[in-house]
Amino acid sequence: MLDIFAQFTAKYNYWAYIVIMMVGLFAMIAKRNLIKKMIGLSIFQTSIMLFYVAIGAKKGATIPILLSGTDPHHIDATMYVNPLPHVLMLTAIVVGVATLGVALALILRIYEKHGTLEEDEIISQIRSS
């Protein structure tokens, strides 16, 4: 019993990412305001980025840039963290910002047309017209 408990608490940082992810998911599903939904989406994205970077971490390893004077034929892979998650998240951050910009542009247009950001009010306006 204690064994299972120890296994669940050993990597407590992953639990933190799951909590952040659920906060984002809750905001996306439960909130009616479009801007709040977008904030939830951003929080969700952030938790996934943290999760990916954490996967690549190794104990006692440095950033994935070869130290000067390393022999290129004898590189110790345990000395550097895994570069692949960093690459994926590097592009994901910038693309996330750009797509968030598009989402905000669409919200701006919706607000100009309907005068509100509340989803249920917008839907009732569309149905009544």
Q: Which stretch binds other proteins (CB under 8 A): 18-26, 32-40, 76-84, 118-126?
A: 76-84
Q: Which stretch binds other proteins (CB under 8 A): 36-44, 45-53, 69-77, 120-128?
A: 69-77
Which one of 7, 9, 91, 128 is in contact with other proteins (CB under 8 A)?
Answer: 91
Which one of 73, 120, 128, 129 is in contact with other proteins (CB under 8 A)?
Answer: 73
* Pairwise CA distance, residues 37 & 44, whole Å: 10
Do 64 and 81 touch, CB atoms closer than 8 A? yes
Instruction: Give the CA angle between residues 91, 87, 55 to the nearest 5°.
Output: 120
Query: Does 66 sit near other proteins (CB under 8 A)?
Result: yes
Q: What is the DSSP letter of 88?
A: H
> Closest CB to other proteins among 16 and 61?
61
As given in the structure block, the two tokens for residue 40 are 């939830």
